[in-house]
Amino acid sequence: MIDKASGNPYQRINALYWSVSASALEGLIDQVRTRLAELLGELRAVTPASADVPTASQAANAVNVVINGRGNRVHVAHAEGDGASATSGAREEPDGPFWTVGKRIGAIAVGLATIAATVIAWWQFQGAG
Tens of each residue's pLDDT in the chain, 129 residues: 888 888 888 888 888 888 888 898 899 899 889 888 888 888 888 888 888 888 888 888 787 777 776 545 555 555 555 544 444 444 555 566 777 888 888 889 998 999 999 988 888 888 754
Tell me which amino acid residue 28 is. Answer: L
The whole-angstrom separation of Cα 61 and Cα 83 is 23
- Residue 93 has phi, psi (to 5 degrees) of -85, 140
This prediction's pTM: 0.41
